[in-house]
Amino acid sequence: MKKNFINKRKKNFLNINKSFLLLIFIIFIISIVFVNFKIFKNYSFIFIQQYSDKFDNNLSKIEITNLNYINEKEILKYFDYFIGKSIFLVPIKKTTEDILTMKWIKSINIKSDYKNTIKIFLKEEVPLGIYYNNDQKILFSNNLKILEIIDTKNKFSGLLKFYGKNSIYNSNELLLALDDNFENSLESAIFVKNRRWNLKLNNQILLKLPQVNVKEAIIKYKMIYKNLSNKDLKDIKSIDLRILNQAIIKYQDN
């Protein structure tokens, strides 16, 4: 009985040793393959570079189209390392993925002419407005994407200003209800109690809109506007259009 137990232990020990040796062997083979692959890869790169040097296939030119808001240097920096190197070694797929992480980039397509030029076709996010959140001024796009925090003095100061919780996420719905001419007469939009809008016009009149039928309310304001003189308009503080078929006009205190 004792002898059988000892033989069983020896057998288990041998099995463990065999498994361990097999694992070591597999790791050894993988290491050799990895090292050889790395060496092969390095030699391949050297061969490709030598070929490119001989036939003038090194990257020397980068063309970018549809660049309106982003500084060109922000795109070119992704290619700095590859300038003067073989155009066949430029990792286009990875570079595309890296550039797409930029908030301003909506889509991008990078193509090589396989000689010396990389062409970049991109679409940028289009700024829609500035959301005022306490002391922060947040620039966002028409896809409701946060682009950046901006300073007081900036090139986007002419955009429509938005105030109120969730005003960003409801901005497109508001602007769809407005025509372009009327939108240009707006200074700011305030989302009130998470359900309706007050509009501050360039003529300083505060327009109080209903929760629904916004288009009809705007038409009503335009009719009022046509029938008022410039002096009358200057004296008006607000026009309340929240009640259907009514317009409550409040004048300045003076």
- What is the per-residue pLDDT for 37? 44
Q: In whole angstroms, how far apart are CA 209 and each of 70, 131, 245?
A: 36, 19, 12
- What is the per-residue pLDDT for 14? 44
- What is the per-residue pLDDT for 105? 96
In order along its 254 residues, the chain shows pLDDT tens digits of: 544 444 445 444 444 444 445 555 555 555 554 544 455 456 678 888 888 888 899 999 999 999 999 999 999 999 999 999 999 999 999 999 999 999 999 999 999 998 999 999 999 999 999 999 988 999 999 999 999 999 877 788 889 999 999 999 999 999 999 988 898 899 999 999 999 999 999 999 999 999 999 999 999 999 999 988 888 888 999 999 999 889 999 998 75
- Alpha-carbon dihedral angle through residues 165, 169, 173, 175, given to the nearest 10 degrees: 80
| DSSP H or E run through 5 | helix 2-55
- What is the per-residue pLDDT for 135? 85
Cα 201 → chain centroid: 30
Strands 186-192 and 160-163: parallel
Instruction: Answer yes or no: pTM beyond 0.85.
Output: no
Question: To 5 degrees, how large is the angle CA 236–CA 241–CA 247?
Answer: 65
